[in-house]
Amino acid sequence: GAVVSQHPSWVICKSGTSVKIECRSLDFQATTMFWYRQFPKQSLMLMATSNEGSKATYEQGVEKDKFLINHASLTLSTLTVTSAHPEDSSFYICSARDTSGRALETQYFGPGTRLLVL
């Protein structure tokens, strides 16, 4: 089955530093990847949609200059949390959509990255 990896699986950083999270589709090509954030006991909230070779589309209320997304290839998207603050501590999950003609709603989720900002 389709596999999506994320790296790192967890990260602890100091306030003010930047953190990069990678999302890779391992056995399929993904023109579209999605970045979600989940706070404890809350639902997954879509942050942005990342399209290969073009700018990401951000959801309302998500600062594009703070959450930098790059989708340079069909198998890799990165999310950089710039100048991270404690309130950015969360569970970040990516998902990827297979380009091979599957239904639009089919997404494969990565295992998530747990970020703790001190």
Please, which of residues 51-90 interact with another protein by CB under 8 A? none
* 99 is a contact residue toward another protein (CB under 8 A): no
* 109 is a contact residue toward another protein (CB under 8 A): yes
CA angle 79, 104, 109 (to 5 degrees): 40
Residues whose CB falls within 8 Å of the CB of residue 92, separated by 6 or more in sequence, listed in order: 6, 21, 35, 36, 37, 38, 79, 81, 112, 113, 114, 115
List the one residue from 31, 49, 82, 99 that touches another protein (CB under 8 A).
49
Q: How many residues bind another protein (CB under 8 A)?
A: 19
Q: What residue ranges bind another protein (CB under 8 A)?
A: 34, 41-46, 49, 91, 93, 103-105, 107, 109-112, 114
